[in-house]
Amino acid sequence: MDGSVLDFAQVRAQFPILQLRENGQPLVYLDNGATSQKPQMVIDTIERYYREQNANVHRGVYGLSERATELYEGARETSRQFLNARSTKEIVFVRGTTEAINLVAHSWGRANLQAGDEVIVTEMEHHSNIVPWQLLRDQMGIRLTVLRMNNRGEVCLNALKGLVSEKTKLLAITHMSNALGTINPVKEMVEIARSVGAKILVDGAQATPHMRVDVQDLDCDFYALSGHKMYGPTGIGVLYAKEALLEAMPPYQGGGDMIYSVTFEKTEYNVLPYKFEAGTPNIAGAIGLAAAMRFMVSIGLERIAAYEAGLLSYATERLKQIDGVRIIGEAEHKGGVVSFILDGAHPHDLATLMDQDGIAVRASHHCAMPVMQHFNVPATVRASFGVYNNRDDIDRLVAAIEEAKEMLL
């Protein structure tokens, strides 16, 4: 494969589900923001684990368990490298971004926040980065402050500077909006938060499939990702957190493997990161996630970003040529997501008709209702791209919109 150009045919051929037909048409899958499809190497890795390597980890002294443990901990090292964390102690396996954020809220938050302290989120956050802080607000009396966005779907750094104060203890922000595609200036936002001593949590669920992420370069305190959005299996994700913070945080859940010793009088907790991994983990999921990370690295993370930027540009241009289509979210810096509405047509009706042409898009509030409220729309149609999409997919998307438009309007 050329060092700068993505070999689309070679990449696409690795995804068996894309050979399916939907309603008699070749499948065009454009709902990657919800979940991505899985390459054969990920499917094979998970199947091989259950067929040849299945055993519980960390507990057995027999060979099969030791090999399973080696694979599981190897996945942790792969995750460390993927995010450029300093140590595997900073990599906690979780079910996904939602659990990662809840872990931070209920462990770090309850131990470090008190009534009157402030958490700042942006207006474009996924519900997973809103509701946990609302729970703490209602239960502990913290203050939840919203950094508003403009009508392009961008936050203003000067506005953030005006919001932060000595009461600000945490800035919880999305790296890339799932509803708009906006890529936030995380490094600059981290610097602003640092100026008042606040910690920074980054929701990276949408960013990690589309770009290289270096947590040391970002200097964030917490970073969360979901495996199923980056060509890996469901039910697995990673919480990156700085080692010193994890050392000081109390456990999120109690049970097996997160302990060193237990009596009825006292429990001593295990070392990092196991203190936060109670019970039998999603072993196959972690191994499958590592395979997905290797798949992405084999293509090249910068190459993926450049390829998808081209798709986004082409899709934006084509959609703007359709009378009545309005793109929601036109930030200067965007990832491979384009949300739109068609005047006079409900997004659900539009998406249902497009499905008849084999086009899979998402019509929803995208678990980002405040975004819909900002733009005064009930929902949008969202086309979100993966490394296996191409311009032909976009052309079929546009043709399906035109056909649906004739039926609806």
Q: Can you read off the two tokens belonging to residue 355?
A: 């499905």
Rounded distance between C-alpha atoms, residue 332 and residue 135, angstroms: 33
What pairs with residue 327 in β-bridges? 340
Q: Which of these is catalytic: 367, 369, 398, 399?
A: 367
In the chain, where the domains are located? 8-38+300-408, 43-298
Instruction: Give the whole-angstrom CA distance, residue 372 versus residue 156.
Output: 19
Indicate if 367 belongs to the active site: yes
Report the alpha-carbon distance of residue 204 to residue 222 in Å, rounded.
10
Q: Annotate 202-270 with three-state secondary structure.
A: EECCCCCCCCCCCHHHHCCCEEEEEHHHCCCCCCCEEEEECHHHHHHCCCCCCCCCCEEEECCCCEEEC
- Flag whether the pTM goes above 0.95: yes
Select the CATH number that applies to the domain covering 8-38+300-408 from these four: 3.30.930.10, 3.90.1150.10, 3.40.50.300, 3.30.70.2520.
3.90.1150.10
Digit-by-digit pLDDT tens for the chain (409 residues) are 444 567 889 999 999 999 999 999 999 999 999 999 999 999 999 999 999 999 999 988 999 999 999 999 999 999 999 999 999 999 999 999 999 999 999 999 999 999 999 999 999 999 999 999 999 999 999 999 999 999 999 999 999 999 999 999 999 999 999 999 999 999 999 999 999 999 999 999 999 999 999 999 999 999 999 999 999 999 999 999 999 999 999 999 999 999 999 999 999 999 999 999 999 999 999 999 999 999 999 999 999 999 999 999 999 999 999 999 999 999 999 999 999 999 999 999 999 999 999 999 999 999 999 999 999 999 999 999 999 999 999 999 999 999 999 999 8
> If you compute the radius of gyration of the chain from its CA atoms, what whole number of angstroms results?
22
What fold, for 43-298?
Answer: Aspartate Aminotransferase; domain 2 (3.40.640)
Q: Are strands 143-147 and 25-26 parallel, antiparallel or unpaired?
A: unpaired
In order, the DSSP letters of 270-302 are PPTTGGG--SS--HHHHHHHHHHHHHHHHH-HH
Question: What is the layout of strands, in order, in the sheet containing 337-342?
Answer: 325-328, 337-342, 380-384, 362-364
Distance of CA 264 to the CA centre of its chain: 40
Query: Helix, strand, or coil here: 360?
Result: strand
Domain 8-38+300-408 shares a fold with domain 43-298: no
Q: By the 8 A CB rule, do 337 and 328 touch?
A: no
